Chains A and B, each alone.
Chain A
């Protein structure tokens, strides 16, 4: 089944404790992206990757890192999480970076930083 998977689905952590949220897609997609969803703000893009070893900042990159060493994986790294990073995170992918390509979303990761 074609899908985007994220792990973990739920995470409660404490301020300053490094964490990684994994994202993987099995559709051989070139483009991948991370979003965060906050009430009243919709989804905002954190980082995106147009292909392997190519990453770029979205609208709200502060406090986050990403890497794209393999085509299928696009982990989101929080080196020193803070409470304002408590949010619902979504990974997405599309076949290419072409404007017409539909993005497919993972199930989400709910992160709470205490």
Chain B
């Protein structure tokens, strides 16, 4: 069975500092991994995904994520945080069967402090 863990409910970082939002996964077969962001009163917006290839994936708004197969992790990173990055972040893994079903982590609330 597939699962995703986001070990931190809340991450606080000062504006301008690098940020990391952690995600580990468990899936049979090759993982397809995604990050989504949810701003207040909004739906989920796609940030980036790892399918295959380069372990460092670049996405929207300056975010990137590093796929680490040995540690089964897919941490979201950004070199310099902005106050506008404050939001709820979800990591997700694709179902390993034929259907396109996503399994989400519980979310990490990122607060960037001015």
Chain A interfacial positions (CB closer than 8 Å to B)? 4, 31, 33, 35, 40-45, 48, 50, 56, 58, 90, 92, 94, 96-108
Contacts and interface: CB of A to CB of B under 8 A. Distances in A.
A90 to B, nearest CB: 6
B90 A56 contact: no
A42 B106 contact: yes
B101 interface: yes
Given A99-B94, A104-B46, A107-B43, A40 B106 contact: yes
A31 B102 contact: no
B71 interface: no
Contacts of B106: 40-42
A3 B40 CA distance: 19
Contacts of B51: 99-100
A92 B106 CA distance: 18
A31 B44 CA distance: 17
B32 A90 contact: no
B100 A45 contact: no
17 contacts: A4-B43, A35-B104, A41-B106, A42-B90, A42-B105, A42-B106, A42-B107, A43-B90, A44-B104, A58-B101, A99-B94, A100-B32, A100-B49, A102-B34, A102-B49, A103-B102, A104-B46
A46 B77 CA distance: 30
A101 B107 CA distance: 21
A50 B42 CA distance: 25
B68 interface: no
Contacts of A33: 100-102
